[in-house]
Amino acid sequence: MSPRTTPPPSRPVGAVTRGTTNPNRLRRMDRWIAAVHGPALRRSAGAPVAVDLGYGAAPWTAVELLRRLRAAEPRTQVVGIEIEPARVAAARPYEREGLRFLHGGFEVPLPERPLLIRAANVLRQYDEDQVAGVWERLCARLAPGGLLVEGTCDEIGRRHVWVALGPEGPRTVTFATRLGSLERPSDLAERLPKALIHRNVPGEPVHAFLRDFDRAWAASAPYASLGARQRWLRAVRDLAADWPLTGAGPDGLRRWRQGEVTVNWTALAPNSG
């Protein structure tokens, strides 16, 4: 993905979302970002900037993102960006040092390039064929070494799926869940991001992945007596024999224990046509 040279648009790019939000809804995504992207934030020469794009009708997710990223890098600044002016006005009383709110959309109207853009529950209302263009626009706004995290979760943050992208394009897909609420891994299919949700059909890689994850989960049923976490860990280890999961070392094990599994994008990318 190459940076765009066209001038910024005179009006925000995108459409108003439903705006549904709840405190702690994005805690799983935030926790992963702080762990995986924390080193990049700490390497930043200046104060790293993170964007909460489309934070919704209330500013809770931006407030929480600042707190969680500052635990990884205390210099981090967060900018909440919303396309609905009334939501920006409602959020302004929550501004403080390191946190501000702006009117805007996919053009990301900042003078600097952010090191992180998080777009959660934003693209579900768009058509699948629009996703690549939005990804390209957002990735073009990233600073060198930056990260775009785009995905979907349920209303109370029990189930998430997100794609992580760098300036060059998509890198990984992460599935995250509250293990005590999980009946089978394919329950996460309803939270697939827009680029994948319509591809959960036979013949597509994401469908095969969830099928194999369910099989590994069923085979690990004897571990259920030790708790949902032990069953999940056994299933993920079995899954790693056939799928390119990231982080097989100690760091990866810590992520798995949190109810997460991350897969290389190339293994799940939709078939063309």
Nearest to 116 by CA among 192, 57, 168, 167: 167
Instruction: Report which DSSP code applies to 107.
Output: T
Q: Would you say residue 79 lies in a domain?
A: yes
- Over residues 189-218, the mean pLDDT reads 97
pLDDT of residue 3: 41
User: Burial, 49: exposed, middle or buried (Cβ in 10 Å; 0-12, 13-18, 19+)?
Assistant: buried
CA 142 – CA 49 distance, rounded (Å):
10
Give the tens place of pLDDT for each residue, 163-193: 999 999 999 999 999 999 899 999 999 999 9
Q: DSSP secondary-structure letter at 174?
A: E
pTM given for the model: 0.92
Answer whether residue 4 shows pLDDT above 60: no
User: How many separate domains does the chain show?
Assistant: 1
Inside any domain, residue 163: yes
> What's the CATH code of the domain at 251?
3.40.50.150
The answer, yes or no, to whether residue 227 has pLDDT greater than 80, is yes
User: What integer is the mean pLDDT of 105-130?
Assistant: 95
Tell me if residue 268 falls in helix, strand or coil: helix
Give the separation between CA 120 and CA 133, rounded to whole angstroms: 17
Confidence (pLDDT) at 125: 87
41 part of a folded domain: yes
Residue 201 is assigned to a structural domain of this protein: no
Tell me the pLDDT of the chain averaged across its residues.
92
For residue 2, name the pLDDT band (cuts at 50, 70, 90). Answer: very low
73: domain range? 27-178+245-264
Lowest-confidence pick of 85-99, 140-154, 176-190, 251-265: 251-265
- Cross-strand partners of 51: 79, 117
- Residue 50 · residue 76 · CB < 8 Å: yes
Distance CA 215, CA 218 (A): 5
In the sheet that holds 116-120, the strands lie side by side as 99-103, 77-82, 49-53, 116-120, 147-153, 159-166, 169-177, 260-264
- Please indicate, yes or no, if residue 152 is contained in any of the structural domains: yes
| Residue 46 clears pLDDT 80, i.e. is over it | yes
Residue 1 has a pLDDT of: 41
- Looking at residue 12, its pLDDT comes to 84
Separation of alpha carbons 7 and 10, rounded Å: 9
Domain assignment of residue 11, yes or no: no
- Position 150 scores a pLDDT of 98
Residue 33 resides in a domain: yes
pLDDT on residue 48: 98
Average pLDDT estimate for 95-99: 98
Structure tokens at 149: 């995290």
Is position 240 within any domain?
no
Listed range (11-15, 36-40, 71-75, 113-117) with the worst mean pLDDT? 11-15
Instruction: Say which residue the tokens 């626009």 belong to.
Output: 137
